[in-house]
Amino acid sequence: MFRDVDTHLGRLDALVNNAGVIGWEGRVADVAAGDLAQLWATNVTSYFLCAREAVRRMSISKGGSGGAIVNVSSLAARTGGKPGRVHYAASKGAIDAFTRGLAREVAGEGIRVNAVAPGLIETGIHASIGKSLPQANGIPLGRSGRADEVAAAIIWLMSDQASYVAGANLEIGGGV
């Protein structure tokens, strides 16, 4: 993927790490190691590998011109997730730690790293495990969010308007 970017698009200025699967619903006591490894590969390992390639290209110490990385986490990382989805919340908690650590690691190389943590957003992730979008009960703004609202926050974090923002995790959850 990154070779294609190099060949067809040229200089890399920004990366949005946006991968996430719920995987299954189930208690920690019943989790299978293989299922957990598969979830971790998508929700965590993929972020590390894409960030590795982006840093190699963006770093001013390696001839790049700097840039921005935005990781998509989840409010579940802060809340621990719903019962039966602790594995998902834990994987997104790893992304929160990764974001803060990588931000400190590469700030001096001209790369800003931040995250967004969406709450209940109208996407297909719930349908992926055979569930409909949950009700917006308990959300102070009284509704679920939209993908374009999350996208706007990501675009802002990548922009020059956020040039002094690094290591932040912007929660987009309607006040939860």
Q: Which residues are designated catalytic?
A: 88
* Residue 45 to residue 164: CA distance in whole angstroms: 27
Give the span between the Cα atoms of 94 and 115, in whole angstroms.
12
Q: What angle do CA 102, 151, 46 make, to 5 degrees?
A: 40
Q: Which token pair is 81? A: 């997730």
CA dist 41 and 50 (Å) reads: 12
Torsion of CA 62, 15, 81, 26, to 10 degrees: -90
C-alpha–C-alpha distance, residues 131 and 43, integer Å: 20
Local structure of 20: helix, strand or coil: coil
Q: Which two tokens stand for residue 171?
A: 């929660």
Q: Work out the angle between the directed axes of helices 86-106 and 46-58 (0-180°, nearest 10).
A: 20
